[in-house]
Amino acid sequence: MSTVIVSGGAGFLGRHLCEILLKKDMEVLCIDNFISGSKNNVREFISYPNFELIRHDIINPLFLEANKIYHLACPASPVQYQNNAIKTVKTNVIGTINMLGLAKRTKARILLTSTSEIYGNPIVHPQVEEYYGNVNPIGIRSCYDEGKRIAETLTMDYHRMNKVDVKIVRIFNTYGPYMAVDDGRVVSNFIIQALSGKDLTVYGDGNQTRSFCYVTDLINGLMKMMEKEDFIGPVNLGNPEEYTILELAQKILKLTKSTSKIIYKPIPKDDPVRRCPDISLAQKRLGWQPQVGLEEGLNKTIAFFKTKL
């Protein structure tokens, strides 16, 4: 039986990944400090004989044995990662060093979940993996953007210097059940506001774009990447269908049958104007592309949040 470590395993993505790994009869070691993850997300797995939940902050060394490591640990929404910017940087830098050191010692394959945020406010559209990005190194988002960029640097240096078996995935906006109610990302914000009868808050004029990937598609892509031989990445994983924020708000109002209104507030500093992945590489090397359309995914996510509220 393979032993798989999932750092950040009690978070939104981690929870879905742990579920699929358990269904594949893997031994899963779920590591989380519960700063942005929740014990409730994985409570149903605690009785499983091949699941272990370990409360641990990865900025401290970790001494475990594993065959594979999915390194997901890091607050991922602006509200969460800006709440303690220095902690976010430490997680991305010191935490990644510790996870790479663990992979080096155990000869495990490690997959780093990086982010579309490494492209910053892009001047290349759609974003391809060869694009180096346009990132503000001293802005309010820099703790996450630059933190993930250095995490990629560390991953490649451990590979080049220590022959660590590594993978790098750049995740674009992902949504679905088990997002936190106070997550702060646009999909969960809009759904919660619509279901609660509150105004939907659009920042700027709403014409900035995003692409939204349903969580099961993303997890499928992560697992394909982990199993792929002779391909390190980085590789974009996301849904290339592009929507304006205003279109998303209108769609959620329609699907929830909400009478809420849309209000506009000033756009936050360094908020990207356009964000959309080029997934040609994932299609070619992994045979991967999203299967769940936005409306289908939103309906499943709305149903989940109805139970939470």
Closest CA to 134 of 273, 240, 245: 273
Residue of 70, 81, 119, 144 with catalytic role: 144
Based on the residue annotation, tell me whether 175 is a catalytic residue of this protein: no
Catalytically active residues are 144
